[in-house]
Amino acid sequence: MPGDDMLAGRLPIVDLSDDAERIARSIDAACRDVGFFYVVNHSVPGELGERLEQAARDFFALDEAEKAEIEMARSGLAWRGWFPAGGELTSGVPDRKEGIYFGQELTDDDPRVVAGTPLHGANLFPRRPAELQPAVLDWISAMTSLGHRLIAGVATALGLDEAWFDRHLTLDPLVLFRIFRYPATIDRVDTGDWGVAEHTDYGLLTILRQDATSGLEVRTRDGWIEAPPTEGSFVVNIGDMLDRMTGGRYRSTPHRVRPSAEVDRLSFPFFFDPSWDAEVAPLPLDDDDRPADDAATRWDRASVHDHLHGTYGDYLWSKVSKVFPDLT
């Protein structure tokens, strides 16, 4: 059951079968209000998600020795592969989850790989289940296409032309994909022992597929609400970079994951971000409704608006290098 600090509520819904103007209005309202929304009628076949979930469950059922054949240390700076429960840090605290990191599949002769660019390279896939590799690659392709559709809606919502992000930042987006397993635990999280503690995401957009188990919680201006899985939908949220680039017009919203006491929970977050070498700067927006900095209300008391310059890769590496400090 939700904790005592939970409120009844529901995230906004963006229907991608609407016309472009209605989609933009829905995205704008959701991003100004809570920074999270469900997206429906997205045209991603349900069969893709079912294949992916089954293959992921089969992988996580293996013993740790076999899973460790693709441990992240084997991928170097490409930042791919498996990590055990407690192996990832959020805000310096070990998460109660295990997972696998994936990204765009690149060959060894790709110039970015040759140059040793972090977060670029070939994925590490396990020997079994054999179905995981095609399921992951198909999913990354589908989510990348959906990311382009959503960021076009964001651009229109902000009063820019729909191709603005693809023209300046996301023509060749940095796409990162994770599969997480949150083990069932009888230790309820009233003591703060979270699957993932309160945090915000780093980039532009996160597109999340959930299994049938609830656990995601979102902090609204009025308090925490659940974001339960809803058939045929994804949960989308904006990250710190979009917050920074809009001057706070669109806020990146803190969220957390509460483990289940009964069953394992799987989640599938996909991150759609600017290209590695994209120069990040404030968007060309009117200043009439940019709110005050919200650092004082964030859990970490940190401003996401400091020092907005340089490339997205520099920014991202400064963030993710704290997640697996031993690998860095």
For residue 38, being part of any structural domain is answered with yes
Q: Residue 70 domain-assigned?
A: yes
Contact 260, 38 (CB under 8 A): no
Residue 295 maps to a domain: yes
DSSP H helix total and E strand total for the chain: 8, 14
Q: How much is the pLDDT for 288?
A: 58
The CA distances from residue 181 to 59, 153, 209, in Å, are 10, 31, 13
Peptide bond into 45 cis (omega under 30): no
Q: 195-209, pLDDT tens digit by residue?
A: 788 899 999 999 999
Average pLDDT over the chain, rounded to an integer? 89
pLDDT digits (tens, 9 = 90+) for 254-307: 999 988 888 999 999 999 999 999 999 889 887 656 666 776 777 666 777 776
Looking at residue 92, its pLDDT comes to 64
pLDDT digits (tens, 9 = 90+) for 236-249: 999 999 999 999 99
**What confidence score (pLDDT) does residue 274 get?**
97
Whether 308 is covered by a domain: the verdict is yes
- CB count within 10 Å of CB 43 equals 10
- Report if residue 146 sits inside a domain: yes
Which amino acid would we find at residue 234? F
Residue 165 belongs to domain with CATH number: 2.60.120.330
- Percent of the chain exceeding pLDDT 90 equals 72
Taking CA atoms, 66 is separated from 55, 59, 89, 197, in Å, by: 15, 9, 23, 28
Give every strand in the sheet of 196-199, ordered side by side.
196-199, 255-257, 216-220, 223-226
Our count of domains for the chain comes to 1
pTM: 0.92
Answer yes or no: is 7 within a domain.
no
Which DSSP state fits 260? P
**What is the span of the domain harbouring residue 67?**
13-320
